[in-house]
Amino acid sequence: MQELHGLKDEDLRGLAPEAVAAPAQQMLQRLRLQDGEIKFKDAKIEKITLQIARLKAWGSARRPRR
């Protein structure tokens, strides 16, 4: 079976359900892995965003008022 990256709609048409099952399972595994990676990266971005906000607040609190 072809690599998932290069798989096209036409490649799946006319195949028996048993032949489609393996690529479908691979795609689901890949989606689950990507979902976990996206959630991790989102959490990391949120953490960094909060750190930036804290640093900005800390920096503005240190500035003398004119």
Q: Provide the Cα torsion 28, 31, 37, 41; round to 10°.
A: -150
pTM for the model stands at 0.63
Tell me the per-residue pLDDT of 7-17, one tens digit each, with 9 for 90 and over. Answer: 787 877 878 88
Give residue 66's pLDDT band: very low, low, confident or very high (50, 70, 90).
Answer: low
Closest to 23 (Cα-Cα) out of 5, 47, 38, 36:
5
63 DSSP assignment: S
